[in-house]
Amino acid sequence: MMHFDLLQACERIEILRTQINRNNYLYYALDQPEVTDAEYDAQMLELKALEEQFPHLITSDSPTQRVGASPLEAFGVVAHPRPLLSLANAFSDADLESWYNRSLKLLGGRAFEIVCEHKMDGLAIALTYKDGRLVRGATRGDGYNGEDITQNLRTIRSIPLSVAGNAPARFEVRGEVYLPKAGFEKLNRERAEQRMPLFANPRNAAAGSVRQLDPRVTAGRALDVYIYALGYADGELMPATHWETMQYLKSLGFRINPNNRRVATINEAEDYYRQWTDARSSLPYEADGIVMKIDPVAYQEELGDVGREPRWAIAYKFPAVQGRTQLNEIIVSVGRTGTLNPVAVLQPVVVGGVTISRAALHNENDIRRKDIREGDMVFIQRAGDVIPEIVGPTPEMLSRAGRSAPFSLCDKLYDAASMAPVCPVCSAPVFKPQEEVMYYCPNASCSAQVEERLQHFVSRGAMDIRGIGGQMAALLLREGLVQDIADIYMLDGRREELLAIERLGEKSVDNLLLAIDKSKSRPLPRLINALGIRHVGEETAELLAAHFNSLDALSAATETDLTGIPSIGGKIASSIMAFLRNEDNRRIIAKLKAAGVGTLAESATASATDLPLAGYEFVITGKIEHFSRETAEGYIRALGGSAKSDVTKKTNCLVVGLDPGSKLAKARALGIKEINETELLHMLGQA
């Protein structure tokens, strides 16, 4: 891991928390993840490591202190009497063995058996039974509060509505609702016929099916459930081990996975993992790993939890799923910043329950390095996520005669008339900046670029304008209603023209205009991200917003101001400068402002009361040599302080730079503490 000082750690932690919270929301609340599980795990690991290094930066709302995301409001909210925990992950035998040895040590060397279970890729639920009857079914939600989906869960046949007579008076079981692979494929076939968006994977399909406000929809989906834990039980003596608890629950009528095994040694647990790593594709459902649980309940209680994870269980994740198919063609698509992206068109193939017909190919160098050629049989890999990737050609390809020529982007884009490679959409000659691997279409008005920019602008991580999806963006462009992103905010004056578009009714137009209007108040980082500056994604947008606090201040930034920000290097800084210098972009920014789009940061870290400078108000007078005033103020805010331009009674500290102005006298009259630049740098961890 990179070594961070306090300030960098603060910033990095903020960024990671924002990303993780967003990913939690996308994954748990919307069932539409945008990052891979591996990326998410990496973010979480990095955050945990940083918080371990800087424990005073842990806040109660850090995602490491929570179990998941907030539930949607449409369902009733139920509080879980005992939180639904999450699981730590192991990715190798070494990880698993260190978990095992740690547990053994904590238990003073007492031996234990391990229950191995499939980690079902579905949706966690808790079912409460009272006097033998199912009274409530809830989602996990954030682990403490879930959604009341009782009516929907009642439609799942393998969930008993009542249990046999000898059950505890009140108890809760936990398990996973999932959609078997066959049900998933059928559902997506039907949706394709009805021209509805397809579910990316069975997990999303299951979650989408269970969290339906209309239980009849849930009933129509082939959902199933496996129970894997007893949440709590009142008044009765329960079995002493997890294994026996499962047998007992089975006797009460709950569906328990018959593939569960109890083993005596860690080697046997590893054998079980390997057996199912090989056999998982033959399973009727998706599993993404093996959950290992220490069997004796007394030991589980002794070991307890750490944060949101029990010490007595771990999820040993399966490696990414691979498949093989033919690479029919490599086509080139134009990205929003003009990047010319090679895309693999594949003979459709099912990998881990998902049909894949396209895959990302990163760039020409990558394709050549892996020696991927059109017509090859290739291995593809899907790591529990949406965008599959090509691993490489299958071994027999390498010696095959008659293989097509090594891939060349320039050949692909070659235009006989102009005798040069050109953009496949607008035919402008392409270019490749030095030290970059990508080729670009230089024409900012290229219709593919404009459409991509528009789509990016309205997307969820950006201005989040519901109602303008890919189709609508293309339509608005085609109809000439928008030429750039700012034109979206001019649409309210063009209601009649919108209504003239075929199949756009009054109601749709009203909803669209409402969504556009609502988006005007999106936070600054989203707006910056939405602008679509090359190399500036969500993360950098967060950094820029925290430092500059307004689009105006960012627009006035110099390259030195930008490179003075930790984690912004020369490449990003020069791309931002190029963007800001461009006349068209300045015009777009001015149009956005004129339309009333918010370009100021909300008091950037107002809620960060745990940060070292929280509650302190700073005023700077005179010149600071180390960095620009904007940047200094950005640092102060990043650490929880506020930076004002005038000295008042509320000012806590005056930073006195070179040639201080009248603020100095005013501060002295009020008896306000003064510090010099060196002291400021120390305080900001920059000395």
To the nearest whole angstrom, how small is the minimum distance from the Cβ of residue 619 to ligand IVH? 48
Taking the least distance from each CB to ligand IVH, the nearer of 118 and 534 is: 118
Among left, alpha and beta (phi > 0; psi -120 to 50; other), residue 127 is beta
Taking the least distance from each CB to ligand IVH, the nearer of 124 and 138 is: 124
To the nearest whole angstrom, how small is the minimum distance from the Cβ of residue 287 to ligand IVH? 8
Taking the least distance from each CB to ligand IVH, the nearer of 307 and 461 is: 307
Q: Could you say which DSSP state residue 26 is in?
A: I
Taking the least distance from each CB to ligand IVH, the nearer of 268 and 679 is: 268
To the nearest whole angstrom, how small is the minimum distance from the Cβ of residue 412 to ligand IVH? 44
Q: Could you say which DSSP state residue 426 is in?
A: T
Taking the least distance from each CB to ligand IVH, the nearer of 140 and 526 is: 140
Closest CA to 176 of 215, 144, 137: 137
To the nearest whole angstrom, how small is the minimum distance from the Cβ of residue 82 to ligand IVH? 10
Instruction: Return the amino acid letter for 144.
Output: Y
- Tell me the three state secondary structure of residue 663: helix
To the nearest whole angstrom, how small is the minimum distance from the Cβ of residue 25 to ligand IVH? 16
Angle at 567 between CA 45 and CA 450, to 5 degrees: 100
To the nearest whole angstrom, how small is the minimum distance from the Cβ of residue 156 to ligand IVH? 15
Taking the least distance from each CB to ligand IVH, the nearer of 383 and 498 is: 383
To the nearest whole angstrom, how small is the minimum distance from the Cβ of residue 167 to ligand IVH? 21
Sheet containing strand 642-644, edge to edge, reads 642-644, 617-621, 653-656, 673-676
Taking the least distance from each CB to ligand IVH, the nearer of 4 and 226 is: 226
The residue sitting closest to ligand IVH, measured at its beta carbon, is: 124
Cα–Cα distance for residue pair 655/320, rounded to 1 Å: 53
Among left, alpha and beta (phi > 0; psi -120 to 50; other), residue 292 is beta
Q: Could you say which DSSP state residue 29 is in?
A: I
Q: Which two tokens stand for residue 74?
A: 């449409």
**Given the DSSP bridges, would you call strands 287-294 and 123-130 parallel, antiparallel or unpaired?**
unpaired
Angle at 168 between CA 166 and CA 169, to 5 degrees: 110
To the nearest whole angstrom, how small is the minimum distance from the Cβ of residue 83 to ligand IVH? 9
Instruction: Return the amino acid letter for 150.
Output: T
Q: Which two tokens stand for residue 244?
A: 């026996």
To the nearest whole angstrom, how small is the minimum distance from the Cβ of residue 530 to ligand IVH? 33
Question: For 436, phi and psi rounded to 5 degrees?
Answer: -115, 155
Taking the least distance from each CB to ligand IVH, the nearer of 85 and 163 is: 85
Q: Which of 48, 119, 130, 250 is catalytic?
A: 119
Angle at 190 between CA 186 and CA 191, to 5 degrees: 115
The rounded Cα 535 to chain-centroid distance in angstroms is: 18
Annotation marks residue 317 as catalytic: no
Question: For 391, phi and psi rounded to 5 degrees?
Answer: -80, -45
Cα–Cα distance for residue pair 614/356, rounded to 1 Å: 50
Taking the least distance from each CB to ligand IVH, the nearer of 66 and 119 is: 119
Rounded alpha-carbon distances, angstroms, from residue 628 to 11, 94, 460, 620: 18, 48, 33, 11
Instruction: Return the amino acid letter for 446.
Output: C
User: Packing angle between helix 538-548 and helix 6-24, nearest 10 degrees?
Assistant: 130
* Contacting residues for 163 by C-beta, under 8 A, at least 6 apart: 129, 132, 252, 253, 254
Taking the least distance from each CB to ligand IVH, the nearer of 228 and 407 is: 228
To the nearest whole angstrom, how small is the minimum distance from the Cβ of residue 174 to ligand IVH? 7
Q: Which two tokens stand for residue 1?
A: 């891991």
For binding to ligand IVH (CB under 6 A), which residues are involved?
85-87, 117, 119-120, 124, 140, 176, 228-229, 291, 310, 313, 315
- Tell me the three state secondary structure of residue 643: strand
Cα–Cα distance for residue pair 20/26, rounded to 1 Å: 10
Q: Are 87 and 309 in contact (CB under 8 A)?
A: yes
To the nearest whole angstrom, how small is the minimum distance from the Cβ of residue 471 to ligand IVH? 34
Give per-residue burial for 406-427: e unless 16+ CB within 10 Å, then b: ebebeebbeeeeeeebbbbbbe
Q: Are 425 and 446 in contact (CB under 8 A)?
A: yes
Taking the least distance from each CB to ligand IVH, the nearer of 114 and 468 is: 114
What dihedral do alpha carbons 517, 467, 354, 257 form, nearest 10°?
A: 70
Give catalytic residue positions: 119
